[in-house]
Amino acid sequence: MRISTVAAASCDDVLAEINARVNGQSSVWHDPHNNGTYTKQNYGGSYSASRRTGDGKYTDKMIFTLTPTAGASSSSCKLEACSRSQVFSLLDMGTNYCNLKMLFCGSADGCKPVKSDFTSSGEKTEKMAESSANLENCLKD
């Protein structure tokens, strides 16, 4: 799954929010998509992570690339991200979309931000291997 969107926040704020969610999993934030566990990694991009499913069976890898853009009234951040299952997977039930979206979505999406609550717009997705992109599937808690 690939996502491209523009966040109505600086890239520093977007990165800080992603970090806050990953670092705050045991105390201030939990993954509402089946309570997976994110771990910061070094795969490249502006930020990379892995996510182990709540049942501990599967691990997916993701990379985020953040690029500052000049908005009409304030700074914004182009967010490009991809998530890929590390095993053969068809019909992922939205898992790879949720892997990414849960790290930056805001309260307008039904998510619970930790540091910065911002919106994003113009989201485009590129699905691989019959994956799906449905935010409702991500918010199961």
Split into its structural domains, the chain has a count of: 1
The rounded distance, in Å, linking the Cα atoms of 23 and 37 is: 10
Determine the pLDDT at residue 80. Answer: 98
- Residue 40's domain comprises 2-138
The rounded distance, in Å, linking the Cα atoms of 27 and 8 is: 27
Q: Left if phi > 0, otherwise alpha if psi is -120 to 50, otherwise beta: which for 91?
A: left
| CB-based contact 61:41 (threshold 8 Å) | yes
Determine the pLDDT at residue 137. Answer: 81
At 88, list the tokens: 């053969």
The count of residues in the chain is: 141
pLDDT class of 134 with cuts at 50, 70, 90: confident
Calculate mean pLDDT across residues 10-34: 94
| CB-based contact 66:15 (threshold 8 Å) | yes
Q: Residue 44: exposed, middle, or buried by beta-carbon count in 10 A (0-12, 13-18, 19+)? A: exposed
**pTM across the whole model:** 0.90
Three-state DSSP class for residue 67? strand
Element holding 38 (H helix, E strand): strand 37-41
Three-state DSSP class for residue 90? coil
